[in-house]
């Protein structure tokens, strides 16, 4: 606990220094505040995406390259329901979350389960294959045309001199609430404890009568539901197209490795850090791809702490 507090203190000092540097570099407090706000809001969504990935990795030991495609499915569910049925995009969480939970359950039970304990290459080919199958199915069904889903009641909010659209704030609040709900599920419920037990020792779990295969499928489903929810929450902010989730998948991996593989608090902290890095990096290196700075920080952190910020040394 003390180490966690001192680590959080160190992170706060580093963050303050980075923000001060960005202020000096940009010469504008408003621009810096805007970058911090946008970064944190976006980081919340990264955290939810990464939470799904890290849950799946931590419990099933599967590196899931289909996570971004599942997120895209969530985006399409929202975009279609919002445009055709005129539903409030946020209300479509009630569809995208159960839909992706079901998709995740079926995909794990009938496909991913066959590669459990197999080679990494088999898992990679399978999940990458599922991603390509989903993306191309979306392309076939809805063409490559991009879609946008405006939020009719969207309005700019002023926060500490910066401006954030209500839709960004809602995405952040929604993502953090869901991440919190997953955390409570894992730590406070019998089912969550069983999931952590399976992650800790699958054979031990089997020997106390837990159905490990079923818990694997449920965990994969929950992780996929996180991707679906994240897809819905970002739909008002992004251009929806069949490959829209890919970037989130890549950033999700960076967040997961940064936070520590399998660590849920690490996914949240990592998500916020990467969101901030992306936006503040734009101030340090204007005109460059924001991802350049993200990957730069990623490499530095791994050199310093290869197990990730919240991971345990191997």
Evaluate the CA torsion angle 290, 292, 296, 301 in order and state its sign: positive
Q: Which is nearer to other proteins, 45 or 205 (CB)?
A: 205
Query: Shortest Cβ distance from residue 230 to other proteins (Å)?
Result: 27
Residue 42: which residues within 8 A CB-CB, separation 6 or more? Answer: 168, 172, 275, 278, 279
From candidates 1, 208, 303, 314, binder to other proteins by CB under 8 A: 208
Q: Which is nearer to other proteins, 88 or 189 (CB)?
A: 189
Distance between CA 60 and CA 56 in Å, rounded? 6
Per CB under 8 A, the segment of 43-51, 198-206, 279-287, 300-308 that binds other proteins is 198-206
From candidates 97, 194, 255, 274, binder to other proteins by CB under 8 A: 194
Distance between CA 284 and CA 22 in Å, rounded? 6
- Do 130 and 111 form a contact (C-beta atoms < 8 A)? yes
Query: Shortest Cβ distance from residue 195 to other proteins (Å)?
Result: 11
Per CB under 8 A, the segment of 8-16, 203-211, 220-228, 280-288 that binds other proteins is 203-211
Distance between CA 66 and CA 37 in Å, rounded? 29
Site string for other proteins, 212-241 (x = CB under 8 A): xx----------------------------
CA nearest to 147, candidates 67, 228, 234:
234
Distance between CA 134 and CA 69 in Å, rounded? 6
Q: Which is nearer to other proteins, 139 or 197 (CB)?
A: 197
Evaluate the CA torsion angle 164, 49, 255, 266 in order and state its sign: positive
Distance between CA 282 and CA 37 in Å, rounded? 13
- Do 156 and 172 form a contact (C-beta atoms < 8 A)? no
- Owner of token pair 């879609």: 147
Per CB under 8 A, the segment of 10-18, 81-89, 133-141, 192-200 that binds other proteins is 192-200
DSSP state of 310: S
From candidates 4, 28, 143, 201, binder to other proteins by CB under 8 A: 201
Q: How many chain residues bind other proteins (CB under 8 A)?
A: 18
**1 sits near other proteins (criterion: CB under 8 A):** no
Query: Shortest Cβ distance from residue 168 to other proteins (Å)?
Result: 35
Residue 168: which residues within 8 A CB-CB, separation 6 or more? Answer: 38, 41, 42, 237
**210 sits near other proteins (criterion: CB under 8 A):** yes
DSSP state of 311: P
**137 sits near other proteins (criterion: CB under 8 A):** no
Query: Shortest Cβ distance from residue 229 to other proteins (Å)?
Result: 26
**206 sits near other proteins (criterion: CB under 8 A):** yes
Per CB under 8 A, the segment of 31-39, 76-84, 169-177, 195-203 that binds other proteins is 195-203
Applying CB under 8 A, the residues found at the interface with other proteins are 190, 193-194, 196-197, 200-201, 203-213
């Amino acid at each position: 606990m003390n180490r966690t507090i001192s680590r959080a203190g160190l992170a706060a000092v580093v963050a303050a220094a980075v923000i001060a540097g960005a202020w000096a570099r940009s010469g504008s407090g408003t621009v810096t505040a805007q970058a911090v706000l946008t970064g944190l809001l976006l980081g919340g969504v990264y955290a939810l995406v990464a939470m799904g990935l890290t849950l799946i990795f931590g419990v099933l030991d599967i590196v899931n390259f289909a996570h971004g495609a599942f997120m895209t499915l969530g985006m399409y569910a929202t975009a279609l329901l919002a445009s055709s049925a005129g539903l409030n995009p946020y209300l479509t969480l009630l569809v995208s979350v159960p839909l992706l939970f079901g998709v995740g359950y079926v995909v794990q039970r009938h496909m991913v389960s066959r590669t459990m304990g197999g080679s990494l290459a088999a898992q990679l080919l399978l999940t990458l294959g599922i991603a390509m199958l989903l993306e191309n199915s979306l392309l076939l069904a809805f063409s490559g045309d991009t879609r946008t889903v405006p939020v009719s009641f969207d309005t700019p909010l002023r926060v500490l001199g910066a401006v954030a659209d209500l839709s960004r704030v809602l995405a952040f609040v929604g993502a953090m609430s869901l991440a919190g709900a997953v955390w409570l599920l894992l730590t406070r419920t019998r089912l969550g404890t069983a999931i952590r037990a399976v992650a800790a020792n699958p054979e031990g779990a089997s020997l106390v009568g837990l159905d490990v295969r079923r818990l694997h499928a449920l965990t994969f489903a929950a992780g996929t539901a996180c991707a679906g929810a994240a897809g819905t929450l970002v739909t008002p902010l992004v251009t929806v197209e069949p490959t829209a989730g890919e970037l989130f998948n890549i950033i999700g991996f960076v967040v997961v490795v940064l936070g520590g593989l399998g660590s849920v608090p690490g996914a949240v902290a990592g998500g916020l850090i990467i969101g901030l890095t992306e936006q503040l990096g734009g101030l340090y290196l204007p005109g460059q791809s924001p991802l350049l700075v993200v990957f730069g920080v990623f490499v530095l952190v791994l050199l310093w702490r290869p197990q990730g910020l919240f991971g345990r040394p191997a």
